[in-house]
Chains A and B, each alone.
Chain A
Amino acid sequence: MSASTLSRRHLLQTLGAGSLGLAALPLAGCALPSAFADGGEGDAADDELTFLISNLDGGWVPSKSAISSYEANVWQQLTDKLVHTDADGVVSPWIAESWEQDADSTEFVLHLREGVTFSDGTPLDAAAVLANLESWAVGRPDDGLAPVGLFPGGTYEGAEALDPLTVRVTFTAPTLSFLPTLGYHGCQLMAPASIAASLEEQSDLANQIGSGPFVLDTWAGNDHVRLVRREDYDWAPEVLGASGPATLSAITFRVLPDDTLRASAARAGQTDIAYNVNPQVLDSFTEAGFVIEVPRYLGFVHGFSLRTNVAPFDDVRVRQAVTRGIDRDEILRTVFTDAWESATSWLQAGVPETTDLTELFAYDPGLAAQLLDEAGWTDRTEDGFRSKDGTELGFTIYPTPYLTGSVPEAELISQHLGRLGIRVSTQRLDIPTWTERVTNNPEQGISPVTRSFVDVGTVAGVITDEGEDWFAVGTSDEELVRLRDEVAGAADHDERAAIVEQLSRHVLEQAYFIPLEQNVQRIYVQSPQLSGITFNAVAIPSYHAARKDPS
């Protein structure tokens, strides 16, 4: 037998044994610690909560992910806010136990609760609040750290500590939105050390110190975050209905990207909460005894803003025809469930200043056809679509990637408008491409809107070219400009409510905005054993008072 044969045989034997040994390592590695955990989360202790979420890939830099529909679920349990703003826009004390504001709403004095600390022991006092206000209003853009977008940084002048528990905040112009915005999910209170950290340091959730009812136990990439109860927590807002530490001992947020798997896991009893499953399967969960929460946040309804400098939306009759040509009831019946409701304005029904203006955009295909005829779209192409001067009437809708159900909804709208002779194409895009092709594209005439706000003053910042100019009217619509200035300058809530109604009526009469349905961006399929969960103004849950009934 030659040496080479021996060598080959030996090598083959070694390879076989080696591969088995190598294989045994990872198998053993995951077997020993995990074998008992398999099936595990569903068998979690009675005071532990498992929450399946589609992703946690937005990172842990608060200015990036605090307003995310995903990470916000975690942040809400780790942090507190100065005030609590509920689903009806009502502001109540939290870390700020009281406040005063001057007559023109340019100066606010916040009185802080005594004895509050961050989980690293640092006091949550006036100095900490000043550091937070600075990060929300100004940020550190040169270090890659953005301010909080919806904080009224444009009129923010500064803040000072009057004593260790009192802060005065001043603005250069009336800023009614200041107080409710303190309850906005972007305005979460972080320890000064966390705020001072670099962008890279802030990306590590372990470096993010809050004062909330839970603290971080472990986290791993886009896999999971486990929080445990903070035993000395005793400053929950009264409106949550519980004091002292949280009832639950731990919460595990586990990432499972596929919505059908999240639904399957819920059905199999492997999770307490499954986030954002397909609306069309919700009825089956309800029948099986699950609790479906579809909290609506304050803000704009789901709808389309139309750019009036882009054909065919440069003709008000076409805009009105498109508005009147959409059968919202059929959308609700077909795409969503009974938990969804039709829009009554361009603002969510929960916004205190909203009035029912449904008559301005209700489904009326006869009127829509008449408007198109009047606009001269009377010829027909070979495919049966309307045309004028050889141009076919049509456009493309890119459904928002931020909303579950937006794609079938757009396809249904395409059918509705197709019956009127309007060719509507739909195309689904990922978020970066959607941002590029819709948000940043001045030639895209129709743009989906799903935006939250906690104060109606936000509308002044989006409607003309002194803001985002959603409708591309610039200053050409004098009535719109007048109403914008009055909303922005209002120092009194009642006075502003009347102006908001005029503004809403004008926007809908001009068909600048096509309302669809009350915006539901977050869907929670919950085990019937859960109770005590509350949602804030932006539809984010608090689990401080949540409990699991072992039965």
Chain B
Amino acid sequence: MSTTATLPESTEAPRRTVRSSRGLLGAAVGRSAQALVVIVLAYVLVFLVLAAIPGDPVSAQLDNPQAGFSDAEKARIRSFHGLDQPVLVQLVVSLGHAVQGDLGLSMATSQPVTQVIGAAIPSTLRLAVTALVLAVALAAALGLATRLLPEGRLNDLVRSLPTLFLSTPNFLIGLVLIQVLAVQLGLFSLVDSEGFASTVAAALTLAIPVSAQIAQVFITALDESAGQDYAEVALARGLPPAQVVLRHLLRPSLLPTVTVVGLVIGEVLGGSLITETIFGRAGIGMVVQKAVATQDVSVLLAAVVLSALVFVVVNLVIDLLYLLLDPRLRPSEVSR
């Protein structure tokens, strides 16, 4: 059974990026080296951009009109934080510590940055993974419904849902869910944002737009599979539509769908930032939002590095998955 006809254009991309006859390990090492460069460049760029913005959290606290510190006291405290040094010196010192795993102290709270980030990761992971599962489930339900429902208005309605989901901002979805499910019906608590029902509600907010992208690809793949000769033969043999879908259409449609699932992981993580703010979850999104608001450079740098790391690793995994899923994309076969 060939899957060539069902491969979307996007799955062709790795063919261009996997070079020479190096093996999987070589490709992984090369990708990792690129990833390292990307992360360092991201670190330097963010540091310089933040340095160009006036103000910092230490000064903001010291200059708080409620505080009333003397200039001498302000100078000594700024010196403790190294803020009296030229920007390039600060960058070199900061980068030097970072490569040793020391991300410094939060300039806003004085907590070790690794603790700040580490404490927030579980909440974000819980939200993102739950959202991804819900998105996949929702997309699967929509896709299967388009094949199982008879052609007509209901089918057309189901087919139009992904577009609707995609065009609805998730903050709007979140606010509606909060008002209806939490405030009106009391189905989840606004206070315990990490509880099961609260997590599902937040994940649903995030999952709805993401599911649309998966559903669109899944529906297209199912439609393409349905147009293949083997599917028509199966139907002609008198197999029920449900069996045709499950036994003959589903499997060839999964490869492009899995590809899209991989691609939307980044979006899920990015969307977590907004969703966390809406639901008051103390995840990475909240940390980043607070760090931006207070210009907490050290935390922002760590968050950027973490984001770059996640995206790079996800891309690396996807590239390697392509090689595993489709033998034609492996280096030896590319070079043939």
In the complex, per-residue mask of A7-32: 1 if CB is within 8 Å of any chain B CB, else 0: 11101100100011011011101110
Query: A436–B55 contact, CB under 8 A?
Result: yes
By a CB distance below 8 angstroms, the chain A residues around B192 are 34, 37-41, 254
Nearest chain B CB to A220 CB, angstrom units? 6
Interface flags for B60-77 (1: CB within 8 Å of A; 0: not) read 111111111110010011
B126 / chain A contacts, CB cutoff of 8 Å: 26, 29-30
Which residue of chain B has its CB nearest to the CB of A38? B195
Given contacts A147-B73, A261-B178, whether A270 and B195 have CB atoms under 8 Å apart is no
Report the nearest A residue to B112, measured CB to CB.
A200
User: Which residues on B sit within 8 Å (CB–CB) of A150?
Assistant: 66-68
Contact of A41 among B68, B191, B282 (CB under 8 A): B191
Binds B, one of A165-173, A380-388, A427-435, A504-512: A427-435
Question: Which B residues between 33 and 77 are near A, CB-CB below 8 angstroms?
Answer: 54-57, 59-70, 73, 76-77
Task: List CB contacts (< 8 Å) of B131-152 with chain A.
Answer: 132-133, 136
- A316 → chain B, closest Cβ, in Å? 24
Q: CB within 8 A of A203: which of B67, B105, B178?
A: B105
Contact B67 A67 (CB under 8 A): yes
**Chain B 290-310 interface 0/1 with A at a Cβ cutoff of 8 Å (1 = within):** 100111000000000000000
Query: Which residues of chain A are within 8 angstroms of B282 by Cβ–Cβ distance?
Result: 220-223, 255
Measured CB to CB, the nearest residue on chain B to A266 is B190
Candidates A7, A255, A431, A450; contact of B324 at CB < 8 Å:
A7
B197 touches A38 (CB 8 A): yes
Q: Is the CB of A39 within 8 A of B188?
A: yes
In residues 163-219 of chain A, which contact B (Cβ within 8 Å)?
Answer: 199-200, 202-204
Nearest residue (CB) in A for B128 is A26
Residues 72-96 of chain B, each 1 if its beta carbon lies under 8 Å from chain A, else 0? 0100110111000000000000000
Do the beta carbons of B290 and A26 come within 8 Å of each other? no
Residue numbers in A under 8 Å from B119 (CB-CB)? 220-221
CB pair A222–B290 under 8 Å, yes or no, is yes
- Decide: A440 near B63, CB < 8 A? Known: A40-B191, A40-B192, A257-B277: yes
Query: Which residues of chain B have C-beta atoms less than 8 A from A435's C-beta?
Result: 55, 59-60, 63-64
Closest residue of chain B to A4 (Cβ to Cβ) is B327
Collect the chain A residues with CB atoms within 8 Å of residue B109's CB. Answer: 57-61, 64, 203
| B334 at interface by CB-CB < 8 Å | no
SS class of chain B's interface: helix, strand, loop or mixed?
Answer: helix
Chain B residues near A440 (CB-CB < 8 A): 59, 63
The reply on A550 being an interface residue by CB < 8 A is no
Let me know if A323 is at the binding interface, CB within 8 A.
Answer: no
Residue B217, interface by CB 8 Å? no
Q: Contacts A4-B327, A29-B126, A142-B76 known; A439 to B63 CB distance under 8 Å?
A: yes
In angstroms, Cα B116 to Cα A7, docked, is 42
Minimal Cβ-Cβ distance residue in A for B120: A221
* A131 close to chain B: CB less than 8 A: no
A241 at the interface (CB under 8 A from B): no
Write out the residue numbers on chain A whose beta carbons fall within 8 Å of the beta carbon of B178.
261, 264
Instruction: Decide yes or no whether B183 CB sits under 8 A from chain A.
Output: yes
Known contacts A8-B325, A59-B109, A436 near B277 by CB under 8 Å: no
Q: How far is B69's CA from A452's CA once the two chains are assembled, in angstroms?
A: 15
Query: Contacts A23-B133, A64-B110, A222-B286 hold; do A261 and B60 have CB atoms under 8 A apart?
Result: no
Closest to A16 in B: B254
In the complex, are the beta carbons of B69 and A58 less than 8 A apart?
Answer: no
CA of A227 to CA of B290, assembled, Å: 24
Cβ-neighbour of A436 out of B54, B62, B293 (below 8 A): B54
Cross-chain contact B130 with A27 (CB below 8 angstroms):
yes
The residue that B56 contacts in the complex, of A58, A200, A432, A437, with Cβ under 8 A, is A432
In the assembled complex, which residues on chain B have CB atoms less than 8 Å from the CB atom of A31? 196
A436 to B294, CA, bound (A): 12
Interface residues of A in 56-89 (CB under 8 A from B): 57-61, 64, 67
Q: Is the CB of B182 within 8 A of A268?
A: yes
For residue B98, CB closer than 8 A to chain A, the reply is no
For chain A residues 442-462, which have a beta carbon within 8 Å of chain B?
A: 449-452, 461
Known: A57-B294, A146-B77, A461-B68. A39 touches B189 (CB 8 A): yes
Question: Is A314 part of the binding interface, using a Cβ–Cβ cutoff of 8 Å?
Answer: no
Closest residue on chain B to residue A223 by CB atoms: B282
Give the chain B neighbours of A149 by CB distance below 8 A: 66-69
Does A50 make an interface contact (CB < 8 A)?
A: yes
Question: A256–B190 contact, CB under 8 A?
Answer: yes
Q: Which residue from A41, A204, A221, A432 sits with its C-beta under 8 Å from B55?
A: A432
Instruction: Closest B residue to A29 by CB, please name it.
Output: B126
B216 within 8 A of A: no
A270, B196: Cβ atoms closer than 8 Å = no
Write the nearest CB–CB distance from A263 to chain B, whole angstroms.
Answer: 10
Say yes or no: is B205 at the interface (Cβ < 8 Å to chain A). no
Residues of B within 8 A of A203 (CB): 105-106, 109-112
How far is the CB of A96 from the nearest CB of chain B, in Å? 23
The residues of A that contact B132 with a CB separation of less than 8 Å are 19, 23
Q: Are A265 and B190 in contact (CB under 8 A)?
A: yes
Q: Considering the chains assembled together, what is the distance between the CA atoms of A200 and B104 in angstroms?
A: 10
In angstroms, how far is the closest chain A Cβ from the Cβ of B251?
A: 7
Q: Does B287 contact A (CB under 8 A)?
A: yes
Within 8 Å of chain A (Cβ to Cβ): is B108? Answer: yes
Q: In the complex, what residues of B have CB within 8 A of residue A27's CB?
A: 130, 133, 196, 199
CB distance from A30 to the nearest CB of B (A): 5
Asked if A256 meets B111 with Cβ closer than 8 Å, knowing A12-B254, A12-B258, A431-B60, the reply is no
**Nearest chain-B residue to A269 (Cβ)?**
B186
A388 to B321, CA, bound (A): 72
A37-B195 Cα distance, complex, nearest whole Å: 7
Contact of A255 with B280 at beta-carbon distance under 8 Å, contacts A58-B109, A149-B66 already known: yes
Q: Which residue of A lies closest to B59 (CB)?
A: A435
Assess whether A536 is interfacial by the CB under 8 Å rule: no
Contacts of A432 in B (CB 8 A): 54-57, 59-60, 293-295
The residue of chain A having its C-beta at the shortest distance from the C-beta of B136 within the complex is A19
Interface centre among A256, A271, A449 (most CB of B within 10 A): A256
Chain A residues, CB < 8 A from B106:
59, 203
State whether B130 touches A23 (Cβ < 8 A).
yes
Question: Which chain B residue lies CB-closest to A300?
Answer: B65
Q: Mark A39-57, 1 if CB is under 8 A from B, else 0.
A: 1111000000010100101
Other than the given A35-B196, A64-B110, A264-B182, 19 more pairs (CB < 8 A) read: A8-B255, A8-B326, A12-B258, A27-B130, A37-B195, A57-B108, A59-B106, A144-B81, A146-B67, A146-B73, A147-B69, A204-B111, A256-B190, A261-B280, A265-B191, A268-B183, A432-B55, A432-B56, A435-B64
Where the two chains meet, the residues of B that have a C-beta atom closer than 8 Å to any C-beta of A are 1, 54-57, 59-70, 73, 76-77, 79-81, 105-106, 108-112, 116, 119-120, 123, 125-126, 129-130, 132-133, 136, 178-179, 182-183, 186, 188-199, 251, 254-255, 258, 277-278, 280, 282, 286-287, 290, 293-295, 324-327
The 17 sampled A-B contact pairs (Cβ below 8 Å) are A11-B325, A20-B133, A30-B126, A35-B197, A59-B106, A61-B110, A64-B110, A139-B73, A144-B110, A149-B67, A220-B282, A221-B116, A255-B280, A255-B282, A264-B178, A436-B55, A440-B59
The 8 closest A-B pairs by CB, nearest first: A59-B109, A223-B282, A141-B76, A41-B191, A38-B195, A23-B133, A149-B68, A149-B67
